[in-house]
Structure formats: structure tokens, C-alpha cells
Amino acid sequence: MDAAAQRRFREFVAQRTPALMRVAYLLAGDQHAAEDLLQTALTKTAARWRHLQHADPEGYVRKVMYHEQVSWWRRAARRRETPTHPVPDVAGDDPTGNSDLRLSMREALQRLTARQRATLVLRYFEDRSETEVAALLGCSVGTVRSQTYRAVKRLRALAPELALFT
């Protein structure tokens, strides 16, 4: 990659990192895993930057992130990272109640499968249609519908306090 292409790549990353990091954070579940996921996607994008810089690099980064998230190899690699100590910060009571719900939702999202979480993020955060989600994840529309249905059903079961909104 020449100097001009590197400069354009840096500009693209600096401009689109906040939006991409939000998606990575929702997909991965925590900050470190999100940075790891986004860096993997950007590395693959940089390797193909010559062909992508005049096309849709952000779409490519998002697609790589979704595919990496549901990749069996990546999940197997991350499964080897076993936490040996409990998380030091423990959430306390929130007078507003809003943070409690958010924490419950975060914990419930963590317990979904990677494909269910990716489907939820695409459908509810990015407001993609079922056809677009199917194309991005490389599956059928029926699979997207069933994954969405199961993910919502599991969220209701894992976080009963969210059922107050039904």
C-alpha cells in the first residue's frame, strides 16, 4: 500500500470508527472484545484496500465483523480465554431504574448465541430489513425470522423485568 492509500485508509478509519465501534461493542459484548473484533475487520480491509477504497469499505468492514462474530474459529479461539478473577466493578442500585434494565439487557445479550445477537443488532440497532440481514449473514430470510423470534423469546426468558414492556 502506497503512502496516499495509507492516508486515505487512516482518514476512513478516523471518520467511521465511532459508528463501527458501536456495532462491534454490541456484537462482542465488551470493550476489549469489540476492539479485537474491529481490528480484525480493519486488518482484512487494509489488505484489500486497493480494491475497496473506491467501493464501499464501511460495508465491507461491517460484513467482516458480522461474519467474524459468527465464525466458529473465532469463537473457538476466544473460548480459550478464561477469566480467572471476578469483575472488580459491581453494579449497585440505580435510583432511576434505567441502568438496571440496561444491565439486565446486556447480560441477556451475552447469553444469546452469536448469530442471534448479530441478528438482533442488525434488525433493531441498524434497522435492516430481513432481506438485508439475510444477505449480510449469508443465510435465508426464513433463518433470519426464526433467529429473531428465538432471540426475542430468549431475552424475555433471561430478563423477566423486560417483560413489563410488553
* Comparison of 84 and 104: residue with beta carbon closer to another protein: 104
Stretch that binds another protein, among 1-9, 52-60, 75-83, 137-145 (CB under 8 A): 1-9
Buried b / exposed e across 7-43, counting CB within 10 Å, b at 16+? eebeebbeeeeeebeebbbbbbbeeebbebbbebbbe
Query: Is position 144 an interface residue for another protein (rule: CB under 8 A)?
Result: no
Q: How far apart are CA 73 and CA 67, in angstroms?
A: 11
* Comparison of 82 and 166: residue with beta carbon closer to another protein: 166
∠ Cα 42 30 138 (to 5°): 55
Bin 127: left if φ > 0, else alpha if -120 < ψ < 50, else beta: left
* Comparison of 70 and 109: residue with beta carbon closer to another protein: 109
Q: Where on the chain is the footprint of another protein (CB under 8 A)?
A: 1, 6, 9-10, 13-14, 17-18, 21-26, 31, 34-35, 38-40, 42-47, 49, 98, 101-102, 105-106, 109, 120-121, 124-125, 152, 155-156, 162-163, 165-166
